[in-house]
Structure 1
Amino acid sequence: MLHQQWMDWAQKFLGEIKANYPHCSVTERSELRRRFMEIKKSCNEVLEAWARIEEQLTELAAEHPGLISHDNEIQEEVWLNETSVRQFRQGQGYYGLTMFDEARKIFQQVVDEEPDFLLGRIYFGLTLFHEGELAEANRQFQLVLKTANHDSFTVFASHMLGCIAVKEGEDRQAIRRFSEVISAMPDHADAWFNMGACYYRLEEVHEAIPCFYHALSVNPDDWESMFFLSHCYRAIKEWNSVSFWRLAAYEKTKHPRILESIAHDYEEMGLPDKALEWYHRLLGKDSKYPGAYHGLAWNLWVKGQKKEAFSWLKKGLSLFPHHLELQFAYVWMCMANNERAKAEKAMSVLPDDVSEDPLWMAVRSRLSILTGNLNQATDFAEQLLREKKPSFQAMGHYHKGRTLLEMGELQDAIRHFRRARELVSSWKDPVFFEGVCHLIEGRSDATRSCWNQLMLKKQDR
């Protein structure tokens, strides 16, 4: 029917807007905004026409009661008047079109007029959830949980309470909610998936893995569970399983993000040629995917092909001039290539909020060392030491060590390099520079001990 064709058209363009708007050009954004407003205008026209038809239906039903089935229109143990039914259906229309602000206002009226109508309360809770009003959404689903007589309602409410806990960063609490859902409905694929994602975020991958397998046993086409399984196995370095699940997920969805992840895996395994192969595939799949240009540039740089690396990086920056990872790679490569003036120029145009990002702070610390501004380098390193994440603290220790090495304070530098290594055991640079400190002090045996660790790591891989 025509309305279904219109829905398909609207959903197609909304999907394109969601995928492309964050990283498109100013001109493209203008066109996407025009399309968005066109869809929104069409939605309003459709809903106004629907409301007029609904009013006619109500008038006809009042005039000719025999037109209506004796079955309750909404299968629930509550009698709704025609106005509430019409409002509920209108709210569903807005909700289906992701017009949550409009839907929320209507469902609020339905709940106020029919407080025992649980399906209306569920939709009200859902719109609140999508609008980020989590405390009120929580209250609505708690009410459903306390008053519902049907398992389908209580299970759904528990699941949504778990989703709210996830949004609030309370993964332990979310796991308890998803466990309640699974106890009542063992084949609830979404609950298994969400519980697995919680365990993954908590870095408890051995608990997460069975959850994703359960989700797949219910829905064998669940590519997201496959993708998460690949991440879990990546965390424990089971590379064969990583490759299997990455490829399985890619076969299901052909999503560019999976191609990028496969390429990243080869990077971590120290196989830049294989990484380049997959980045070229990614570029063939989506020529406007920034990660493809970044990955090609980085792996060519690792192979020593600096001219080609800069060429790909510049291509990427010409398409995405404000992409932070591409800018970061450009500054880093300029510094590594002793092109300090270019690096400083690129850093000078960064917005203030971006320049305070920990990764950029690490680059600024390194650039300060290269330009001889050791006090500034120390300040940046100490800011990193105050970060909460161990990886950022490790960068702080590493850059503090590099600064102390430049100042000739070798024992303090060694202490910071060792602390960086303790925080990120796979990081090789701190081990190398600890060896440099020992070499300067004439302890060649200690230097060999450090650098032999680097050789062993390379052989293991």
Structure 2
Amino acid sequence: MFKHLFTSMNEMLDEVAVYYKAAAGVHKQELEEKLHMLKTMSDTFIEEWLLFEEKLACFYRDQQPAAALTDGMKTELGDVRTAEFVRGQGYYKLMMFSEAIREFTVLVREQPDFTLARLYLAMSFLQKGDISDSYGHFIFLSQCTHNHQIKAISCSAMGCIQMHEQNVDKASEYFNLAFQSDPSSVEPLLEMGLCSEKKGQLDFYW
């Protein structure tokens, strides 16, 4: 549904515009290629996240009350049937991110370990362009979740944010953490030729 990891790219464009004033030839081409790379990464990660979210939601709905889920996993997935979650999810899919933030903030305040709700909250902040708020939740998720896919998604999102901030070393670190949690989470990077696997680690070409 979403083509961009960030709803607003104005800050990034303004930052690049500063370099454009003095850039020429190869330098300008490099800036253009970098923007294209970031956009492609953002598009791909949000698409992968939405596919995962739909699959997880379908799985949870199909489970019986007596399903053999661990207590920790039950807490993390929470109850997706609550009014707040349903409303928040609906707002998110309608791109009404301020309203989604309101609903998921209530859920996370009442159930701090409800990581699926926190993931929605982090993504809502990110889509609104509130990088700082989203980053804090992604850090919490990456450190506290027992779900490998949620951890990988969080690390991948932080990697994209660090790329947005031009911190390529930190971005590489987060993408490697995502790779360790769930190798499939960074397949888009491999497919785009931005990195390769080498002895269980990612070797980046930027």
Please report the TM-score for the alignment, with normalisation by the length of structure 2.
Answer: 0.54
State how far apart, in whole Å, the 2-side matches of 1:191 and 1:71 are.
Answer: 39
Matched, 1:143 2:118: no
State how far apart, in whole Å, the 1-side matches of 2:133 and 2:172 are.
Answer: 21
Alignment of 1:229-240 (within 5 A): none
Of the two structures, which has the highest relative contact order with CA contacts closer than 8 Å and spacing of 6 or more?
Answer: 2
Which residue, out of 95, 110, 113, partners 2:110?
113
Which residue, out of 65, 72, 82, partners 1:70?
65
Q: Structure 1 residue 81: deviation in Å? A: 6.8
Matched, 1:190 2:185: no
Matched, 1:169 2:152: no
Give 1:155's aligned residue.
Answer: 152
Are the structure 2 counterparts of residues 71 and 106 from structure 1 closer, same or farther at C-alpha, using a change threshold of 3 Å? farther
Alignment of 1:24-35 (within 5 A): none
Which residue, out of 122, 126, 132, partners 2:119?
122
State how far apart, in whole Å, the 2-side matches of 1:131 and 1:150 are.
Answer: 25
Cα pair 1:181 1:191 within 8 Å, conserved: no
Are the structure 2 counterparts of residues 88 and 117 from structure 1 closer, same or farther at C-alpha, using a change threshold of 3 Å? same
Structure exhibiting the larger radius of gyration computed from Cα positions: 1
Please report the TM-score for the alignment, with normalisation by the length of structure 1.
Answer: 0.26
Give 2:87's aligned residue.
Answer: 90
Cα pair 1:128 1:134 within 8 Å, conserved: yes
Q: Percent identity?
A: 22
State how far apart, in whole Å, the 2-side matches of 1:126 and 1:135 are.
Answer: 12
Judging by fraction of residues, say which structure has more helix: 1
Deviations 1:137-169 (A, max 9, x none): 111011111211121221111111112212222
State how far apart, in whole Å, the 2-side matches of 1:85 and 1:181 are.
Answer: 30
Alignment of 1:204-353 (within 5 A): 210=196
Cα pair 1:178 1:194 within 8 Å, conserved: no
Give 1:325's aligned residue.
Answer: none
Are the structure 2 counterparts of residues 158 and 140 from structure 1 closer, same or farther at C-alpha, using a change threshold of 3 Å? same
State how far apart, in whole Å, the 1-side matches of 2:108 and 2:64 are.
Answer: 25
Cα pair 1:87 1:106 within 8 Å, conserved: yes
Over 4 Å off, 4+ runs: 79-82
Deviations 1:404-440 (A, max 9, x none): xxxxxxxxxxxxxxxxxxxxxxxxxxxxxxxxxxxxx
* Partner AA of 2:190 in structure 1: W
Give 2:175's aligned residue.
Answer: 178
- Secondary structure of 1:116 counterpart: coil
State how far apart, in whole Å, the 2-side matches of 1:110 and 1:147 are.
Answer: 17
Cα pair 2:118 2:137 within 8 Å, conserved: yes
Matched, 1:132 2:124: no
Q: Structure 1 residue 130: deviation in Å? A: 0.9
Structure 1 residues not aligned, in runs of 5+: 1-10, 15-67, 197-207, 212-231, 233-461
Are the structure 2 counterparts of residues 193 and 179 from structure 1 closer, same or farther at C-alpha, using a change threshold of 3 Å? farther
State how far apart, in whole Å, the 1-side matches of 2:172 and 2:192 are.
Answer: 8
State how far apart, in whole Å, the 2-side matches of 1:80 and 1:152 are.
Answer: 16
